[in-house]
Structure 1
Amino acid sequence: MKKLCKSYQDNGFVVIPNLFNESKINELLAETLRLCREEGSKLPKTHLLTNKSHPPSNIDEMSDDELLSHFLALHFPHKMSPSFRSMLDAPELVPYLAMLIGPNVKCMQSMLFVKKSGKPGQAWHQDEHFIPTRDRSLTGVWIALDDATIENGCLWIIPGSHKAGVLYPVRSPVSKEYDGAPEAFNYPYSPDEALPVEVSKGSVVFFHGYLLHSSLKNRSKEQYRRALVHHYMSAESLLPWDCGGQIPTTRDNRDIVMVCGRDPYNWKGIEDVLKPYIRGEREPTQIIENLG
Structure 2
Amino acid sequence: MGAYLSEEQLDAYNRNGFLVIPDFADAARCLALRERALLLARKHVPPPDQATVFTADGGDRHVAERYFLGSGEAIHCFFEKDAFDAAGRLRGEAHLSLNKMGHALHDLDPVFDEFSRAPELAAIAGDIGMAEPRLLQSMYIFKQPRIGGEVVCHTDHTYLWTDPPSAVGFWFAIDDATTENGCMWALPGGHRLPVKARSKLNRARTATELEILDTVPYPTEGLVALEAARGTLVLLHGALPHLSGPNRSDKPRHAYTVHAIDGVASYPDDNWLQRPNLPLRGFS
Shorter-chain TM range is 0.7 to 0.9
**In 2, are the aligned partners of 1:101 and 1:137 still within 8 Å (CA)?**
no
Residues 31-57 of structure 1, C-alpha deviations (whole Å, 9 max, x = no match)? 0110011222389847627796799xx
2:205 aligns to what? Answer: none
Whole-angstrom distance in 2 between the partners of 1:103 and 1:152: 36
1:100 corresponds to which of 121, 128, 148: 128
Q: CA deviation at 1:254?
A: 7.0
Partner of 2:149: 120
Specify the code of the residue in structure 2 equivalent to 1:158: L
Matched, 1:151 2:198: no
Give the direction of change, closer, same or farther, for the CA distance of 1:155–1:52 in structure 2 (3 Å limit).
closer
Q: How far does the alpha carbon of each residue in 1:146-179 deviate from its partner, in whole angstroms, 9 at most, with x for none?
A: 0000010000000101113x211489xxxxxxxx
SS of residue paired to 1:147? coil
Whole-angstrom distance in 2 between the partners of 1:82 and 1:11: 34
Residue 82 in 1 paired to residue 106 in 2? Answer: no
**Any idea what SS the aligned residue of 2:138 has?**
strand
Aligned CA distance change for structure 1 residues 8 and 146 (closer, same or farther; 3 Å): same
Distance in 2 (CA, whole Å) between partners of 1:84 and 1:51 is: 23
Identical aligned residues as a percent: 27
3-state SS of 1:259 partner? coil
* Alpha-carbon separation, structure 2, partners of 1:189 and 1:67: 35
Instruction: Name the CA distance, whole Å, in 2 between partners of 1:36 and 1:6.
Output: 39
* Counterparts in 2 of 1:241 and 1:212: CA distance versus 1, 3 Å: farther
Counterparts of 1:273-288 in structure 2, within 5 Å, are: none
Structure 2, unaligned runs of 5 or more: 1-5, 54-60, 63-77, 85-89, 200-208
Q: Does 1:19 align with 2:19?
A: no
Structure 1 residue runs without a partner (length 5+):
56-61, 172-180, 261-292
Q: Is the 8 A contact 1:45 1:54 kept in 2?
A: no
SS of equivalent to 2:98:
coil
> What is the TM-score with the length of structure 1 in the denominator?
0.71
User: Which residue of 52, 65, 71 maps to 2:98?
Assistant: 71
- Work out the number of aligned pairs and report it: 237
Query: Does structure 2 conserve the Cα–Cα contact (< 8 Å) formed by 1:68 and 1:116?
Result: no
TM, length-normalised to structure 2:
0.73
SS at match of 1:29: helix
Shift of the alpha carbon at 1:103?
4.3
Please provide the CA RMSD for this pair.
3.2
Aligned partner letter, 2:167? L
Cα separation, partners in 2 of 1:73 and 1:245, compared to 1, 3 Å: closer
d(CA) in 1 for partners of 2:238 and 2:80? 32
Q: Does 1:32 align with 2:56?
A: no
Q: Deviations over 1:177-234 (max 9, x none)?
A: xxxx98x9844653221111001011000011100000000021x2111110111122
SS in 1 for 2:93: helix
